Amino acid sequence: MTIQIGDRIPDATLTLSTPEGPRPISTAELFGGKTVALFAVPGAFTPTCSARHLPGFIDNKGALAEKGIDTVACVSVNDAFVMGAWARDNNLNGTDDIVMLADGNGDFTRQVGLTLNASGFGMGERSQRYSMLVKDGVVSQLNIEQGGEFRVSSAEHLLAQL
């Protein structure tokens, strides 16, 4: 079942890429007591994700902060090393910028019901493209893209909802 507005984010563990190596982070630590703009991409370094989705959140991070967003986070069904490389490739400096979260086995993605079968592209099970606003662990906005589209999950769309 797909997570809905008003639902609590499930207990899960994601992974951060740090200079000391991969570090687990719980959803309780990530979302507790904060307002988080979370967006998900099917894969790091993929065309739309790299050319439009991540750059939109990079460009609008300040505007999102002005609207009360404490943390902007990106999640993908990739490992922490790939997410770390993608962050470096985009000149992101750890958690001071956009928090890059690895959902290596897709556990979080399955728990929120937002998987994507990308086997036809040789990518296996991935995440659908979406954005959500999470306040103290509860979903208050949810924007799920239809297959192949990039509109409602953009930083600009989420910013307009605030």
Distances (CA, A) of 86 to 11, 33, 80, 94, 150: 26, 28, 10, 11, 20
74 is catalytic: no
SS3 of 24-87: the string is EEEHHHHHCCCEEEEEEECCCCCHHHHHHHHHHHHHHHHHHHHCCCCEEEEEECCCHHHHHHHH
Instruction: Name 17's bridge partners.
Output: 22
Q: Which of 30, 36, 40, 49 is catalytic?
A: 49
Active site residues: 49
